[in-house]
Amino acid sequence: MAGNVDAPPPLESPAARGGEPAADEPWAGWVAVVTGASRGIGAGMAARFAARGLALGLCARTTPAAPTGAEQRTLVASVDVTDETAIEDFADAVVDRFGRIDLWVNNAGVLAPIGPLRAAPAAELDAHVRTNVVGVLLGSRAYARHVRSRPGGGALVNISSGASTNPYAGWAAYCASKAAVDHLTRVVAIEEADAGLRALAVAPGVVDTDMQASIRATPREDFPSLDRFLALAEDDAFNSPAWVADRILDLAVGATTQSSEAGRDVVVRIADEPRSR
């Protein structure tokens, strides 16, 4: 598949690069940036990353809250990911605070407009593409520049979706934008491999967020696949943000079979979370 690359070697631990002593978890001491971190998957990932010992740079249009107990190792800011100056300034601020960035997660995204493309207002389409595509391009660019400014490589995770490969009537903009995320990630993986940057487009599965609530509230005539998402809610068949965060950390350090698969294609779908019966 186009964009297939050999995975770069695992990221250096803080101890290996002369930093903090190594802990049981290989990502102990890492610094992670999460965009769109004020709610939903982003807020859940931030809380889990904090619990696993990472320092955090969190941004969203609404300033995110620092995870409880991690206030001293969290930098938060209001950032519009479509503003190139704002995203570059935020990256610089995180580096000024913590010294480097080991993991960057481009999570910010929107779903609207929902409904037939023929009915979609041009302004809403433009806003959607600017957030879901341009925002990821700018975040990826900022992180690639940072990784090339210092040794040690890094992990870039762009949040994708099953909608990138499965067409849903009513989601023309969303399906198109997530397909763009997959392919731009493949390009970044090729361009930045020599700098040790591991780029992945990760579909997190279905997580019960405000976005999912808005899907379930959509009129069936605008979204014919509504019943599938109502059934997921009835069965509580969701991945938790903590499960998603843990899988992303595994992928970032090259510690799982999935990350080995990512060496052949950088697009990865997180497996469904096991559930007790």
Catalytic site residues? Answer: 174
- Count how many Cα atoms sit within 13 Å of the Cα of residue 233 in the half-sphere of its side chain: 15
CA nearest neighbour of 197 among 205, 183, 207, 186: 186
Q: Virtual CA dihedral for 56, 274, 259, 20, nearest 10 degrees?
A: 40
CA nearest neighbour of 36 among 139, 114, 137: 139
**Other beta carbons within 10 Å of 152:** 16
What tokens appear for 10 in the block? 């695992």
CA nearest neighbour of 58 among 68, 43, 70: 43
> What is the distance in angstroms between the CA of the first residue and the CA of the last residue of the chain?
38
